[in-house]
Structure 1
């Protein structure tokens, strides 16, 4: 049964969300990759970005990094560790789950995070769909 749940989650459509009232606009795949790999720290057109990650054990995290950056979640973590160690960046903060990430994003216009598309409601808006 657990295998079925994991397999189902791995195929879930993953979207990047911002709060419904955020000034964030739709992002391209490259912009999303640059943001989540620490190469961009603000929205196109300005405005600070703060990032949220799914928990390390989450299949959604693996799916997101694979589709957006072409890296595994472990490779992205190692990359962030290097940036952090050299003082060139701070890794995304980890949320507890999609509901927590959605709640945090909805209440802070600078935060963005990724969740399953099925978790989206009126408190957030989709700014990128991982394909």
Structure 2
């Protein structure tokens, strides 16, 4: 009986560990493949055009946990550092990426705007968008 309980608990722990959340950076299907360095540059508006197409980065809302994961993993800045960055950029005429309130609105926008790029939970992925990068936590 004791062995059965240990096996059962081990199985639960392994299934919990293997079900880490997975996230994707997505774009309009017409976008070419991009490196994480290029994705970061697009979200910091250091790159604004890719192959003569205007790049349109799209964020989730400021307090969205997926946005926090994206900014830490890809942009490599936390909320406070990004806030400071955009305050400085404002004075040279640059505005931060547009924000959307839901993953569905991000996906719909990206599907319909040629240079759009954003991020969502991989469980909300479908074939209407292109996956540029995938990570899990």
Structure 1 segments of 4 or more deviating over 3 A? none
Number of the residue aligned with 2:7: none
More strand by share: 2
* Pairs within 5 Å for 1:52-91: 52-87=58-93, 89-91=94-96
Q: Which runs of 5+ in 2 are unaligned?
A: 1-19
TM-score, normalising length from structure 2? Answer: 0.77
Secondary structure of the residue aligned to 1:62 is helix
Asked if the contact 1:55–1:95 (Cα under 8 Å) also holds between the matched residues in 2, the reply is yes
- Relative to structure 1, is the Cα distance of residues 31 and 81 closer, same or farther in structure 2, using a 3 angstrom cutoff? same
1:24 aligned onto 2:23: no
Secondary structure of the residue aligned to 1:60 is helix
TM-score, normalising length from structure 1? Answer: 0.80
Rg bigger for which structure?
Answer: 2
Aligned length: 117
User: Structure 1, residues 90-131: CA drift from partner, whole Å, max 9, x if none?
Assistant: 210001110110011111112111111111101111122247
Number of the residue aligned with 1:15: 24
Q: Which runs of 5+ in 1 are unaligned?
A: 1-10
Cα distance in 2 for partners of 1:63, 1:19 equals 21
